[in-house]
Amino acid sequence: MTIDRQTLRWNGWGPAKQENPLPDGAPQWAWIKETLGMAVLPSTPAKRLSDIMLPPCHLSAEEIKSFESIVGENQVRTDDYERAFHARGKSYHDLLYIRAGNLDVAPDAVIYPRAASEVQSVLSYCAENNMSVVPFGGGSSVVGGVNATARSATDKVITLDLTLMDGVHDVDRVAMTARIDAGIYGPHLEEKLDAQGLTLGHYPQSFEYSTLGGWIAARGAGQQSNRYGKAEKWVISARLATPTGPWSTEEFPASAAGPNLNQLVAGSEGTLGIICDATVKIHEKPQAKDYRGYLFKDFATGVEVARTINHADIPVAMVRLSDAAETYFFQTFGSSGSGGLKSKLQNAYLKWKGFAKDPCLMLIGLEGEKTTVEWAKERTSAICKKAGALAIGSSAGDRWYHGRFSSPYSRDPMMDRGIGVDTLETATSWSNILKLHEKMISAIQAALDENMGEPGQKGIVMGHVSHSYPDGASLYFTFVFPRNLEDEIGQWQRVKRAASDAIAANGGTISHHHGVGTDHTPWMAEEKGTTGMTVLKTLKAELDPKGIMNPGKLLG
Amino acid sequence: MTIDRQTLRWNGWGPAKQENPLPDGAPQWAWIKETLGMAVLPSTPAKRLSDIMLPPCHLSAEEIKSFESIVGENQVRTDDYERAFHARGKSYHDLLYIRAGNLDVAPDAVIYPRAASEVQSVLSYCAENNMSVVPFGGGSSVVGGVNATARSATDKVITLDLTLMDGVHDVDRVAMTARIDAGIYGPHLEEKLDAQGLTLGHYPQSFEYSTLGGWIAARGAGQQSNRYGKAEKWVISARLATPTGPWSTEEFPASAAGPNLNQLVAGSEGTLGIICDATVKIHEKPQAKDYRGYLFKDFATGVEVARTINHADIPVAMVRLSDAAETYFFQTFGSSGSGGLKSKLQNAYLKWKGFAKDPCLMLIGLEGEKTTVEWAKERTSAICKKAGALAIGSSAGDRWYHGRFSSPYSRDPMMDRGIGVDTLETATSWSNILKLHEKMISAIQAALDENMGEPGQKGIVMGHVSHSYPDGASLYFTFVFPRNLEDEIGQWQRVKRAASDAIAANGGTISHHHGVGTDHTPWMAEEKGTTGMTVLKTLKAELDPKGIMNPGKLLG
């Protein structure tokens, strides 16, 4: 069940028709104006598609016919809407271009294959005819991963939209595995598994509008990755189409027969080939779920608790620790609507308990068998309390759970009012996490400060730990700021560069789960090293000798 | 602290001086004769080194000088003992050659570097001078992984013995990581970590005489891999020397910055370069350990319990399930010494309890925090009992634990008396494991039957599950048989081929933790597929363009 692109926002998040979470007059606007130092909120609406001139489709009638002969007539689209929808992903950076009506990178055609064999034939045709190919699932990349950029200025660009390939096959309830088509959206996937009492458990914030293939290609992480694993953990094997032919990776629970080639597929971002389907680990639907909150007196104490829980072998699904700024944001912005009063009471309560200065919220999510969840609840609760945390019960957890996909919906109305919102993420070792957090916050804050368009304006930055491992954890940053309307792209580029440089300089990875895309390529060589880059480029040269696959991504 | 090679058996397992676990007149011999249908046990001693003519060392004095100038005079060895010690690994196949005095593959020299820079210089020199290079740690490979075979008949072969590189560095008690030199032996590594209350937890059967670098290069598994992970799980990053230069892989708890290149190092078996050191995950020494036994009425029930435990998120260190044949072997052979009487009593008890037909022993090992071990004990015990298992307490577990490195020591005395012992292993999904087990047992048994040297003789085969995962588990087989003294190599080759073909035909991987070496190369292409093999060969061609690294291994 693909989603008709016409029912989705081509230039924003979610359905075309949706309730505005921040309508004019919503109390949050006052908070925003005050916090960002904006006397007035400018009106900065997105251009309508009908007012935008797309570059022409460069395909000849014969070329279109050739594609149609492979995938069928209705599966080759060259209309403005399809080309605009598939021009870019959903990053803040992308939105700046799209909303301004800059669709220079729109693909020449969008092709909807319905089978792996069709994908292979399209790739072979493109390789033969020197056309660039961009694989596209939900298109939710926030790093430029699906931008329809060409290998060279003269290349035609074909975007392959995989969302008609959305079956769930070979469900094995003993091995707890299933083979799933790459183009299936999160909700559809979980619906199909749910009907059999099963789950993949991969719920990224983009869950509603992202696909299995994209999760694997970009090494994505669901919010409950502590239990279900990042994509590279739950992928068992994959079948790809590459310009030089099909590639099926080995499928074993564990092997010593040479390197695990599945780990070359995870993170390949469509640069080696297109994932057509994958066999993945699935789970019984958890008997029990428990999400609850704890308040810590500071970030460091919370980090130490996250680490302790991880090292104690306690089966948790999620440990999510907001820093003081993000906790404050939740308390104020999140409650500046109807929850305001409640929040004020809560603040008073916290002050009374001595948590007023830098309280940091931790949400612990548990999923699984009842007895296991019960035991894990006791153990995590004991660890939190020993660290002096204030248990604030399950309501904070439940609130978070029910709104866990909602953040991206607020971005569009904020974009309409001159406000920028971006996020980025990294990961590092437990012994480096406080330092990296501090360096990142200052780097982003300083870059925002240096790039304000008007005096008195300021941006805010906040962070959280949301995925933890034995040796370290992720750090996720959100920054909200008044856009410099004279130089929006430049402003973003400078902030992005400062943040990325700070990651590289302070022992972080350039991405924990968003991927590399185009935006992170300048930092790849430092991270992978000369030999590492050679390894990746050699592989690409072998499987994609003409370099037609997702040009400009991952390797630059 | 390397181990002086002179104190070790060059042609067998363990120290040169050791107690014979099967002296003449030991009651086990009667069991063996009866079981294998051997009227007499022939005397088949190994040739003494002094009676063997090694091929000459082909290095010129100048070449030796060049190596000495890199690593120092005492670090370049060309004497017979060093060359014989490093000629081959420790497989049954290797022993057939070595014990017969066939040392055709002895390296021309053995070099003991003391630093990564020296390894790099030696590799660069060898690349320049077209010499083959074989990396060597403990030399415990049972798949031909360290055999000093040359790239071509005219090549000189240098074995690089890494065991002088044995430091433990950068112990990080917060991130629980350490950087450890590749050449360190298991006991030395654990001793150094133990002094700080830490452990890596990697205890393969070869623990005493294998090294960190070898574990990673061959994707090894310790017996407690459920808790500590296979090598590819606990390796965080590695530093290699390759013929084209050094390669340091990225080091992050999790990343989405392209494919995880550490997973190309794990399983590379010295064919891309030499692992000089690696950063690995370490753990607090477990507060508690609990190893105990359960008897199941048949193998299938035990497999189902192993699966259930795995899917229930219960933190176990080990679940080891012997099939009926192996359980019988433990009961009889293992107890045919002093424990015989006790065993008879036990048998009676089991009969009385209705376990007589096909009882299968499961050992469950738990390690970690006291409360966790206690909880896991309750949970696993409840699952076993629900499946009708007979709990036989901790004595069986403790006995196994204390003898967990002992099996290889019995092989040498058995080899002295015309008996062959070999093992092999695979892994498959839970839904295929009973079928694969059955097919493997019949294939190996049939091949043994068809390859007996004398009428009335017969071999035995037994198996166990010893490493389990969400999607499947390993299967490990041991077979003991009267050697056909007229055609020892041919006999082994035919049995090995039959077993490997059965693995490939029935959905197993050609190795779960022994690796590929030379012995498994014929089955690699089927497992990795055409594109997979191309990927591996392309990588090798890039990093080792002359193909000097560990020729003949992994890729054939």
pLDDT beyond 90 at B349: no
Does B247 have pLDDT greater than 90?
A: yes
| Residue with token string 């390529």 | A521
Per the CB < 8 Å rule, is A471 touching B248?
Answer: no
Give the B window 111-140 contacts with A, CB below 8 Å.
Answer: none
Cβ neighbours of A245 in B, within 8 Å: 530-531
A53: its two tokens: 């001139």
Q: Which of residues 520-549 of A touch B (CB under 8 A)?
A: 520, 523-524, 527-532, 534-536, 538-539, 542-543
SS (H, E, C) A233-290: HHEEEEEEEECCEEEECCCCCCCCCCCCCHHHHCCCCCCCCEEEEEEEECEECCCEEE
A326 vs A478: CA distance, rounded Å: 9
Which of residues 214 through 243 in chain A touch B, CB cutoff 8 A?
218-221, 227, 230, 232, 236, 242
Q: Is B257's CB within 8 Å of A513's CB?
A: no
Nearest CA in chain B to A252: B428
Arithmetic mean of pLDDT over chain B: 95
3-state class (DSSP) for residue B499: helix
Name the fold adopted by A288-404: Vanillyl-alcohol Oxidase; Chain A, domain 3 (3.40.462)
Question: Helix axis angle, B433-450 relative to B488-505, nearest 10°?
Answer: 160
Instruction: Kindly provide the ipTM of the predicted complex, given to two decimals.
Output: 0.96
Residues with Cβ within 8 Å of B141's Cβ and at least 6 positions away in sequence, in order, are B89, B90, B91, B147, B214, B218, B514, B515, B517
Q: Which residue has the higher pLDDT, B342 or A467?
A: A467
pLDDT at A331: 81
According to CATH, the topology of domain B5-12+38-161 is 3.30.43
Residues of A in contact with B371 (CB under 8 A): 379
- Enumerate the β-bridge partners of residue A475: A426
How confident is residue A499, by pLDDT bands cut at 50, 70 and 90?
very high
What's the Rg (C-alpha) of chain A?
23
B360-393 confidence digits (pLDDT tens): 999 999 999 999 999 999 999 999 999 999 999 9
A259/B281 CB distance under 8 A: no
Q: Express each pLDDT in A213-233 by its tens digit.
A: 999 999 999 999 999 999 999
* Residue B341 in this model has a pLDDT that exceeds 70: no
**Alpha carbon distance B540, B380 (integer Å):** 45
Verify whether the Cβ–Cβ distance A535 to B542 is below 8 Å.
yes
Count how many pairs of residues, chain A against chain B, have C-beta atoms within 8 Å: 287
CB A312 to CB B511 under 8 A?
Answer: no
Instruction: State residue A333's pLDDT score.
Output: 77
Nearest to A147 by CA among A159, A164, A155: A159
**What was the pLDDT predicted at B338?**
45
Q: Is the whole-model pTM more than 0.95?
A: yes
B331 to chain A, closest Cα gap in Å: 30
Find out whether A247 and A240 touch, Cβ atoms under 8 Å: yes
User: Distance, in angstroms, between A123 CA and closest chain B CA?
Assistant: 16
| Average pLDDT along chain A | 95
User: Which residues in B136-164 are b (16+ Cβ under 10 Å) and which e?
Assistant: bbbbbbbbbbbbbbbbeeebbbbbbbbbb
**What are the tens digits of pLDDT across the range A337-371?**
544 445 555 665 666 566 667 899 999 999 999 99
| Residue A526 pLDDT greater than 90, yes or no | yes
Which class in CATH covers the domain with range A408-514? alpha beta
Domain boundaries of chain A, sorted by first residue: 168-284, 288-404, 408-514
pLDDT at B332 (0 to 100): 80
Asked if residue A419 has pLDDT above 80, the reply is yes
Average pLDDT over residues A298-325: 97
**Percent above pLDDT 90 for chain B:** 92
Among B245, B511, B538, whose Cβ lies nearest the Cβ of A255? B511
B197/A contact by beta carbon, under 8 A: no
**B352 — pLDDT class (breaks 50, 70, 90):** low
Query: Looking at chain B, which residue has its C-alpha nearest residue A554?
Result: B258
**Was domain B168-284 assigned CATH 3.30.465.10?**
yes
Bigger pLDDT: B312 vs B341: B312
- By the 8 A CB rule, do B466 and B424 touch? no
Cβ pair B174:A256 closer than 8 A:
no
**A290 pLDDT more than 50:** yes
> Which residues does chain A have within 8 Å of residue B509's beta carbon, measured at their own beta carbons?
250, 252, 254-257
Q: What is the dihedral of CA A457, A461, A462, A463, to 10 degrees?
A: 170
Work out the average pLDDT over B433-441: 98
Each residue's pLDDT tens digit, B22-56: 999 998 999 999 999 999 999 999 999 999 999 99
Position B340 pLDDT exceeds 50: no
pLDDT per position as a tens digit, B164-202: 999 999 999 999 999 999 999 999 999 999 999 999 999
In a mutagenesis test of the B interface, which of A307, A313, A511, A521 is the best target, namely the one with the most B β-carbons within 10 Å? A313
